Amino acid sequence: MRIAELSERSGVPIPTIKYYLREGLLPRGEATGRNQARYGDEHLSRLRLVRALTTVGGLSVATVREVLAEVGEPDVGLHSKLGLVMRRLPLVGDDIEPLEEDRERALALVTRRGWHFYPDHPALHALAVVLAGHREVGHSVGDADLDRYAEAAEGIAAVDLDRISGLPATEEVLEGAVVKTVLGDTLLTVLRRLAQVDESAARNLEGAGRRAARGD
Amino acid sequence: MRIAELSERSGVPIPTIKYYLREGLLPRGEATGRNQARYGDEHLSRLRLVRALTTVGGLSVATVREVLAEVGEPDVGLHSKLGLVMRRLPLVGDDIEPLEEDRERALALVTRRGWHFYPDHPALHALAVVLAGHREVGHSVGDADLDRYAEAAEGIAAVDLDRISGLPATEEVLEGAVVKTVLGDTLLTVLRRLAQVDESAARNLEGAGRRAARGD
């Protein structure tokens, strides 16, 4: 198909497609003339993927390029490859510098949960940054709440890994893991918001016997 | 304190502070001369709050202004006020238009969970958008996974509401709820990533008897 059709079918404007081509996010099409190229279904899939990761997942174009480059590189096993890909995903801004106490709390949590961890993993640093952010505005998260959140995260990670365990480290499997992690963060945020509405309504209407009516 | 000290103590550069003053995110200080003003601890707290919500929470300056304006308005009860504040939090880009089937799946999920919901709530629309994003890239989330994620979200929302139930709808309580929701989204993303590392390691090393060694 021509670039116009590619644009129409993907919903991505032509200038954006040209930008992705220049940035190497989308492979060049097959040249059919001096200024023309033909694109295939693989271009359409890739465009949709880039759009979903940026629009729904909130990733920058630069990050998408890095992550997809990592996905495309051959490697040994699924788990080591997954680790490399996931380390590329951005987690939190670096404007806030955690204190030693924030770092210690982050380390204490993963230790308390018995989590296998890497001391240099960006997520461990990010945890210290987020704890610092809470502390700085006077709304620190207590250990009990942190443990309950961590427990929920364990349940989520089990779902995440259940889907792909035992599969080979192909580009398709890794791409699926990236999509379900990045878009999944947004999905979980949305589900949390909806569950908060329900939880808030339940507590607000408790006096009116709502829970009793639901049989809770 | 002068603006220079405010900048030093908050870690926010002076030009940024001036920008926040212009945008109404930070109340004016007490004028002490033609081009000078004095700032108090309430300015310092507010600056730290704005920085945490933008840096760690990823909100735009415009959204922070809206949300904090809503927090500052008097209202009747905690739960109705919380609802108004939470509706102001951004969830997902609007570049992807969900299909009828995505909307139906979103509705089916909240119905299946027995969640109290509002048909016009932005989170319900956002859920349809996220489901559309997954579908468009060929990695739809199955109902079973969706239910397990929703269950985790219920556990998270219970923690969220436990902290504030029974408290009055003061600016401090509402501000805390915003911080713990917005920064909490980042916290949960980070915890998920750390739990994934553990889960991936556990499955990868299963053959080596790691789980047996842990006594699982």
CATH number of the domain where residue A14 is located: 1.10.1660.10
Considering chain A, what is the average pLDDT of its residues?
Answer: 86
In A, which residues are within 8 Å of B185 by CB distance?
A: 189, 192
- The CA distance from B55 to A87, in Å, is 20
- Can you tell me which residue has the tokens 């996931």? A86
In this structure, are A48 and A122 located in the same domain? no
In this structure, are A120 and A168 located in the same domain? yes
Q: What range does the domain containing B119 cover? A: 56-214
In this structure, are B81 and B139 located in the same domain? yes
Considering chain B, what is the average pLDDT of its residues?
Answer: 86
Nearest residue of A to residue B42 by CA position? A137
In this structure, are B17 and B124 located in the same domain? no
In this structure, are A174 and A118 located in the same domain? yes
SS3 (DSSP) at B24: coil
Verify whether the Cβ–Cβ distance B195 to A96 is below 8 Å. Answer: no
Out of A92, A190, A199, whose CB is closest to B158? A199
- At B70, the pLDDT band (50, 70, 90 cuts) reads confident
- Residue A126 tokens read as 């990010």
- Is residue A72 scored above 80 in pLDDT? no
Number of domains forming the structure of chain A:
2
Query: CB under 8 Å to A204, separation ≥6 — which residues?
Result: B77, B78, B79, B80
Out of A134, A163, A193, whose CB is closest to B179? A134
Q: What is the pLDDT of residues A111-162, one digit of tens each?
A: 999 999 988 889 999 999 999 989 988 889 999 999 999 999 999 999 999 9
Q: Which residues pair with B30 in a beta bridge?
A: B38
- Is residue B211 scored above 80 in pLDDT? no
Find, among A90, A92, A76, the residue nearest to A174 by Cα: A76
Verify whether the Cβ–Cβ distance A156 to B204 is below 8 Å. Answer: no
- Residue A98 tokens read as 């955690």
Q: What is the mean pLDDT of residues A33-50?
A: 89
Among the ranges given (A100-109, B63-72, B114-123, B137-146), the one the predictor scored with the smallest mean pLDDT: B63-72
In B, which residues are within 8 Å of A209 by CB distance?
A: none
B61: phi then psi, degrees, rounded to nearest 5? -60, -40
In this structure, are B109 and B156 located in the same domain? yes
In this structure, are A36 and A141 located in the same domain? no
B5 vs chain A: nearest CA distance in angstroms? 17
Verify whether the Cβ–Cβ distance A89 to B193 is below 8 Å. Answer: yes
A34 vs chain B: nearest CA distance in angstroms? 32
In this structure, are A196 and A95 located in the same domain? yes
- The CA distance from A164 to A185, in Å, is 17
- At B55, the pLDDT band (50, 70, 90 cuts) reads confident
In this structure, are A27 and A92 located in the same domain? no
- Is residue B209 scored above 80 in pLDDT? no
Task: Judge whether B149 and A191 are in contact, CB under 8 Å.
Answer: yes
Verify whether the Cβ–Cβ distance A153 to B116 is below 8 Å. Answer: no
Hey, how many other C-beta atoms are within 10 angstroms of the C-beta on A32? 10
- Is residue A207 scored above 60 in pLDDT? no
Verify whether the Cβ–Cβ distance A116 to B190 is below 8 Å. Answer: no
In this structure, are B47 and B95 located in the same domain? no
- At A106, the pLDDT band (50, 70, 90 cuts) reads very high
In this structure, are B122 and B191 located in the same domain? yes
For residues B75-95, one letter each, b for 16 or more C-beta atoms within 10 angstroms of the residue's C-beta and e for the rest, the string is eeebbebbbebbbbbbbbbee
Among the ranges given (A7-11, A83-87, B34-38, B117-121), the one the predictor scored with the smallest mean pLDDT: A83-87
Verify whether the Cβ–Cβ distance B56 to A150 is below 8 Å. Answer: no
